[in-house]
Amino acid sequence: MSQSRMVMALTGVFALSTLSNAAATGLNSAAKAAGLKYFGSATDNSELTDSAYTAVLDDTNQFGQITPGNTMKWVYTEPSQNSFSYTQGDQIANFAKTNGQLLRCHNLVWYQEAPSWVTSGSWTNASLIAAMQAHITNEVTHYKGQCYAWDVVNEALNDDGTYRQWELYNVIGPAYIPLAFEAAAAADPDVKLYYNDYNIETAGAKATAAQNLVKTIKAYGAKIDGIGLESHFIVGETPSASSQASNMASFTALGVEVAVTELDVRQTLPETSAQDQQQAKDYVSTVQACLQTKNCVGVTVWDFDDKYSWVPSTFSGQGAADLYNSAVQPKPAYTSVLSALNAAATAGSGSSSSAPTTLSTVSASPTSSPSSAPASGTVAEYGQCGGIGYTGPTVCESPYSCHSTNSYYSQCY
């Protein structure tokens, strides 16, 4: 357990009734009280014209982080070579900025939604590397200072752990991955850089391959800060909290943070009450796994309501995958997730099922919780100490100093 979460546990020992009375009423507020950095949602441009939808999305009590679902991807931002367009991506970036929400920028390199000039071009190794580097440099520079993190490379692995074959891999080879991270870091040294993928949420060949990617990128000398666990699950088939937490720890042991980046739990239609109840348990399993894992920084759902879910158009006969229904009303999963987050905050630990914390369990290990601070009013190592919308302590514990990552986030180290 991180130091900040231990401190919160101690507070609970002395003032449990006060904490219970102060239960958060929104997902993001509860997540931050439990020691996470954010609870967020993906969105897309067309959805921002729906006033009922945006009334929920722009409420930072509910969502403290935004991910653009599509319009920062390569096909949108560089539809023809060296011709860049950021109008649609900027709309979502400005939405987040106006609300004081963190922005997870998504994504720079992906085999899908790559422009045809990339996938059908006639390339040499050198010319395709140059084209990829130019794309990354231009886009990351455009959004410099606006993003908490970039998903630099997305879904580069097959389910058996082999590399996915597509234009960049076929021409450049696996080196395109560290080269992409190198280019992103050069364009913005402060933004966090992620590898993002699905079916790496539990131990197996693909998760092992993703861990090896982290090692490869680092061995190359490039920067990687995090792993995004997409977490697109099926009702009744979601991995347990313990198996997800164990797998998260296998990534954080490599010196990177993790985040749940695209969470949803799809049902077989028609939606039923029984599936809703199981869905609620499944959502909680993933949220608890993050809460239990040092250096799991947050949870993002993909999207938050069924009206705009990607599931029905992708998986025939399936849907009802989100926390809110199509009428933008909370479902049982929402209530269960909020309760789990509040329970974790009250207990002062990453799980409502954790053993009670006593004075003897306090650890002096560095904190992974950037939104929390020690009881002294100073901020521990790796904790947040500033940024747009931040209202907590700004003085770091000795011998650490507060350093600006971007306009939204400063950290003690």
Q: How do residues 128-170 score in pLDDT, each as one tens digit?
A: 999 999 999 999 999 999 999 999 999 999 999 999 999 999 9
Active site residues: 262
pTM: 0.80
Question: Which domains are present in the chain?
Answer: 27-347 (3.20.20.80)
**How much is the pLDDT for 365?**
28
pLDDT higher than threshold 50 for residue 342? yes
Sign of the alpha-carbon torsion through 103, 107, 112, 114: positive
pLDDT higher than threshold 90 for residue 265? yes
**How much is the pLDDT for 388?**
56
Q: Residue 229: which H helix or E strand, with range?
A: strand 226-229
pLDDT higher than threshold 70 for residue 396? yes
**How much is the pLDDT for 5?**
41
Compute CA 163 distance to the chain's CA centroid, rounded to the nearest angstrom: 23
pLDDT, average across residues 66-78: 98
The number of C-alpha atoms within 13 Å of 163 and in the hemisphere containing its C-beta is 16
Question: Could you give the CA distance from residue 383 to residue 293 in angstroms, rounded to a whole number?
Answer: 16
